[in-house]
A and B are shown apart, each in its own frame.
Chain A
Amino acid sequence: MSQAALLPTRRDEAWRYSDTDALGTLAPGRLDAWRNIDVGAGEQLVETLVLDGSDPVALDRLRVTIGEGGHFALFALVIGGDLGRLEVEVSLAEGAHFELGGVTLGGGETTREIVTKVDHGQPGATSNQVVRSVHWGKSAGNFLGQIEVARHAQKTDAGQSFKGLLLERGASVNSVPQLEIFADDVKCAHGAAIGQLDEQAGFYMAARGLPPETARRLMVQAFIGDAFVAMVDDEAREAMTERALEQLEARL
């Protein structure tokens, strides 16, 4: 059987806004490759990821289990590929926490996306996902976040925040929250907003002498900063921010 027959299409919910045409270039079996991350009970783990490069597809698929009271934080930049896609499936034990800070950035005809599935199968677990997307040209940025809360997973607290910043007309962002909640004592907060660069702030900065490119860089920096506030390591945070801004400057 040819691989094409097995490739996802945009009819699949998790690929709804994706660039599935780009998948044809993948080596056979590549889509089945998932990385497993197991965070033990009471353990803490922080992971930073940069999906970059000029291959047609920049793909990373993670399956994460977090043990009781464990804590996993993932900070990711999705800035490469015609299709850049980070997929994360997380399963939380009792009292575990999952933190995601994700940024997609892109121009041209690229699609950059973050797709998560967080399984609150046990009580008292928490998750917080912050995704910021900055796009220009005809690029698209997507965040598809699925949250499942099992019937007995009381005291679940799951938050999602998505914001898109469109630097040019023609770019787009999509956010698809999907909440399946079967417990009743649950907090699930979801927020999504799309905007352009603030013109007033742009003129204020210009009036102080900042050229448009510098003003834009500062505003983008501030915008994506939300995704990395939970990073305790200042140097790592600055490195991630700098990497994102380099990408912005290279493409603008």
Chain B
Amino acid sequence: MLKIDNLHATVGDTEILRGLSLEVNAGEIHAIMGPNGAGKSTLAYVLGGRPGYEVIAGTVSFMGQDLLAMEPHERAAAGLFLGFQYPVEIPGVSNVQFLREAANAQRKGRGEEPLSGGEFLKLAKEKAALLKLDMEMLKRNVNVGFSGGEKKRAEMVQMGILDPRLAVLDETDSGLDIDALKTVGEGINAIMRSPDKGVLLITHYQRLLDYVKPDYVHVLSKGRIVKTGNAELALDLEREGYDEVIAA
């Protein structure tokens, strides 16, 4: 589904990703862990096509297509979802309007009929309930005045509505209280655990992985994957820290 090969990318003049390779097959959940500044968010942004993140070498194919040749909105329509470490506030635009426009833009990109207002609201209600987010929140402006945890849950509601093939979730667990972490973990499973979907879960903590069991755990350090293992690896990391595990 996603194949990253020898990816090098710069931000400004600094090379942040330095030969990163990774493959996610349909039906798999991969966790990426790694120290602050390792390049995890950079990887997410490069996959999303954020301006200013320049790929200088390597390839990325997504569902058989050259991901790097696509515009950011085309990547979304092709089924890529980026969960932001810091979801962006958009004053003056309600979640409902934003998400309906987004869902329909994606459908249009895939040659599907748009959702009617009623159909959209039904879908939004269902996903808000799944994430235990009050529907009233979705009538408010996108992320404006949301608490850190509410923003992360709203991201997952967005994911539920947009129903992507591959979700790249950048620290969706940070800022969540204990109950919300469980809700979000179960939400991720409900939305993304499927034989034709994949997840790339960027996280610092083992706790989320208790709910969303990864098939693989990778350690990203200094712009490349330096170690890959199964769910056990996350436990080792939690116990011993990155330095120990990377050196081992």
Q: Which residues of A contact B (CB under 8 A)?
A: 198-201, 203-212, 214, 218-219, 221-223, 225-226
Stretch in B44-52, B132-140, B238-246 with 4+ CB within 8 Å of A = B44-52
Q: Which of B75, B82, B102 has the most CB of A within 10 A?
A: B102
Given A199-B51, A203-B50, do A209 and B102 touch, yes or no (CB 8 Å)?
Answer: yes
Q: Which residues on B are within 8 Å of A, measured CB to CB?
A: 48-51, 71-73, 75-77, 81-82, 84, 87-93, 97-99, 101-103, 105-106, 109, 158, 162
Residues of the A chain whose Cβ atoms lie less than 8 Å from the Cβ of B92: 219, 221-223, 225-226
A207→B72 contact, CB < 8 A: yes
Is A205's CB under 8 angstroms from B50's CB?
no
Inter-chain CA distance A223–B102, complex, in Å, is 19
- 5 A–B pairs (Cβ distance < 8 Å), ordered by A: A203-B51, A206-B72, A209-B77, A218-B97, A223-B92
Set of chain A residues within 8 Å of B106, measured between Cβ atoms: 209
Interface residues of chain A: helix, strand, loop or mixed (majority): helix
Known contacts A206-B76, A209-B162; A221 and B93 CB within 8 A of each other = yes
Question: When the two chains form their complex, are residues A208 and B102 in contact, meaning their CB atoms are under 8 A apart?
Answer: yes
Who on chain B is nearest to A211 by CB?
B73
Query: Which 9 A-B residue pairings sit nearest by Cβ, starting from the closest?
Result: A222-B92, A209-B76, A206-B72, A209-B106, A204-B88, A208-B102, A206-B73, A207-B82, A209-B102
Chain B residue contacts of A206, Cβ below 8 A: 49, 71-73, 76
- Cα-based distance from A112 to B241 in the complex (angstroms): 62
Which residues of chain A come closer than 8 Å to B75, judged between CB atoms? 207
Nearest-neighbour CB distance to chain B for A199, whole angstroms, equals 7
Distance in angstroms between the alpha carbons of A38 and B118 in the assembled complex? 45
> Would B98 and A218 count as touching, CB distance under 8 A?
yes
Docked-complex contact B73 and A212, CB < 8 angstroms: yes
Chain A nearest CB, measured from B98 CB (Å): 7
CB of A227, distance to nearest CB on chain B (Å): 11
Q: Are B71 and A205 closer than 8 Å at their CB atoms?
A: no
Identify A200's interface contact among B71, B88, B102, B105, CB under 8 A. B88
* Cα separation A222 to B141 with both chains bound (whole Å): 10
Contact status A207-B76, CB under 8 Å = yes
Structural contact, A201 and B88, CB atoms closer than 8 A: yes
Report the minimum CB–CB distance from A214 to chain B (whole Å).
Answer: 6
Instruction: Across the interface, name the chain A residue whose C-beta is closest to B161.
Output: A208
* Cβ–Cβ < 8 Å partners of A199 in chain B: 51
Out of A201, A211, A221, A222, which one reaches B105, CB within 8 Å? Answer: A211
Please determine whether A214 and B101 come into contact, CB atoms closer than 8 angstroms: yes
On whether the beta carbons of B93 and A218 are closer than 8 Å, the reply is yes
Among residues of A, the one whose C-beta sits closest to the C-beta of B86 is: A200
Q: Is the CB of A209 within 8 A of B90?
A: no
| C-alpha spacing A203/B76, complex, angstroms | 11
Give, as a whole number of angstroms, the nearest-CB distance from B125 to chain A: 19
Contact B84 A204 (CB under 8 A): yes
**A221 → B minimal CB distance (Å):** 7
Nearest chain-B residue to A223 (Cβ)? B92
Distance of A176 Cα from B205 Cα, bound (Å): 54
Interface contact A203-B48, CB-CB below 8 Å: yes
Given contacts A203-B48, A203-B50, A203-B51, whether A210 and B84 have CB atoms under 8 Å apart is no
Indicate if the CB atoms of B98 and A208 lie closer than 8 Å. yes
* Given known A206-B76, A209-B73, contact A222–B101 (CB-CB < 8 A): no
Across the two chains, which residue of chain A brings its CB closest to B82? A207
Distance of A195 from chain B, by nearest CB (Å): 12
Q: A52 CB to closest chain B CB, in angstroms?
A: 24
* Complex Cα–Cα for A245 and B232 (A): 55
CB of B154 to closest CB in A, whole Å:
12
The docked-state distance in angstroms from the alpha carbon of A211 to that of B72 is: 8
For A212, give the chain B residue with the smallest CB separation.
Answer: B73
Question: Could you tell me the distance in whole angstroms from the C-beta of B204 to the nearest C-beta in chain A?
Answer: 22
Q: Which residues of A contact B98 (CB under 8 A)?
A: 205, 208, 218
Shortest distance from the beta carbon of A238 to any chain B beta carbon, whole Å: 12
Q: CB distance B73 to A222 under 8 Å? A: no
Q: Which residue of the partner chain, among B49, B50, B91, B99, contacts A208 with CB atoms under 8 Å?
A: B99
Residues of B within 8 A of A200 (CB): 88
- Closest B residue to A203 by beta carbon equals B50
Q: Which residues on the A side are within 8 Å of B82 (C-beta)?
A: 207
- Least CB separation from A224: chain B residue: B92
Q: A203-B88, A204-B90, A222-B93 are in contact. List 19 more A-B contacts (CB 8 A).
A: A201-B88, A201-B89, A203-B50, A205-B98, A206-B71, A206-B73, A206-B76, A208-B98, A208-B99, A208-B158, A208-B162, A209-B73, A209-B162, A210-B101, A211-B105, A218-B93, A219-B90, A219-B92, A221-B93
